[in-house]
Chains A and B, each alone.
Chain A
């Protein structure tokens, strides 16, 4: 146990020293919030009495889960594998699962820190819809998303050899999610064929879930979304199991 705690503390420092991670996880989402929020923030949202910004907050939080998975975790695992750091852990008595767990915990930290930051900044600028219980429920849903998306990140890391190639792969996953799953714009305003495409993306269900609970919906209303997410988690776990590699 002591070993795991020390490893988590060690990795925590490494993550904080990586300015690319800090930029993409803690600065970029806030930039998006301020830019898109200042353009559309006060426009009426999809539901009565709510504004664009109210559904944009949970969507950005969901985006963070996807970007930490396909960029941060994916690239860090490749770097650690190719330089032989993973091998160093393997010749030491620490369990392989602990190494993955430590990275996952860094990912969870980034996701939650990012979410809190987004909510705080938004509440300073706009008069947002907020309830404490919805926030906790949103965090729970984000963690639930981490279960599947982190495994997707670990699986992707098995496919590429260099961080460059990894970023390329990550883009292929990330950008469709950004545009088709309702993060930056409501799915309703997309052309019909893109709406169809959107229905096939697990990310769409994740964004839907995050927005739903943030806006006060009961978790029981989102059975479909939870079921799709659970299925997606299973698929990602299987993919990670077969694709993730410890050695070059």
Chain B
């Protein structure tokens, strides 16, 4: 497998905080690589160093074999970056923006071709200002693809998009992967990370706490499942937490969710408890763990769960 991005003990500090703390990892050619983590975990700083916008304090990184310290300009020629949809001049027309940015690169795709690929043919003479959020996002994506990039960086690609537009964005990302591009995506939405990514890096407090496929990350939780039911309002949170094999309780006024590592045992104990106290377990649902659980578990404690 070919490596297109290689990080070695990469560090970046701002005053006393270490935004990126000795991260070593690699991204393989042709994969969709996710970077997740809470706000302020250092995702953005990390990505910005790879995009050639910031210099690291120590450690090293190469993108497409080019050192980020020495060859930022060459890296910029060969990568694409999806930015927020607002970052285009409102008084420019779609065609003008595409042509202008195409002219900045040594190698560029014909704006017409990209427009056809993204369904922008009819919007060529529209002012950016007049476009809806979804359309702006497409123009933004067209700009990220204008130099036929080998690596595409997507920062929160579906932020602010409605569910339909989000689905379209995901389909688009899968199509881009089929073209052989490597895609690095940061996201808040664990559902998105789980659905899109081949591998996910979980970053917390500047450190890499886990890196694996979504399935492996979820199974690392040791088969934790969730038991969800209607909150009858009789039993207190502490009693639920005291049931066998319960590792966590999500408490809301109308529903209770028990995270259990031995779902059969916990269920039996739950029914026994309900019978003793004279209430019915209703609205019962069993859920598998998801990337959401991985995210909560791994980033709350600030340390990994592997091992």
Contact = CB atoms under 8 A, between A and B. Distances in A.
B104 A3 contact: yes
A84 B86 contact: yes
B104 A94 contact: yes
B261 interface: no
Contacts of A161: none
User: Could you say which of B89, B92, B103, B143 has the most chain A C-beta atoms within 10 Å of its C-beta?
Assistant: B89
B76 A10 contact: no
Nearest to A94: B104
B77 A90 contact: no
A88 B103 CA distance: 14
B279 interface: no
Interface string A104-123: 00000000000000000000
For the residues of B in contact with A, the DSSP-based class is loop
Nearest to B140: A88
B71 to A, nearest CB: 11
A65 B89 CA distance: 24
B77 A85 contact: no
B83 A87 contact: yes
B275 interface: no
B24 interface: no
A10 B77 contact: no
A84 B92 contact: no
A188 B120 CA distance: 62
Contacts of A224: none
A69 B156 CA distance: 36
Interface in A1-60: 2-3, 6-7, 10, 13-14, 17-18
A232 to B, nearest CB: 31
B86 A10 contact: no
Contacts of B103: 2-3, 6
A14 B87 contact: no
10 contacts: A7-B104, A10-B92, A14-B89, A83-B88, A87-B87, A88-B87, A91-B76, A91-B81, A92-B105, A93-B105
Contacts of B91: 13-14, 17-18
A10 B100 contact: yes
A80 interface: yes
A90 B81 CA distance: 10
Interface in B132-150: 143
A87 B155 CA distance: 13
Contact of A93 (B77, B88, B100): B77
B53 A91 contact: yes
A85 B88 CA distance: 5
Contact of A92 (B84, B86, B99, B101): B101
A16 B33 CA distance: 43
Contacts of A87: 83, 87
Contacts of A18: 91
Interface in A76-107: 80, 83-85, 87-88, 90-94
B51 interface: yes
A3 B84 CA distance: 23
Contacts of A88: 83, 87-88, 101, 143
B131 interface: no
Nearest to A82: B86
A195 B77 CA distance: 55
B190 to A, nearest CB: 25
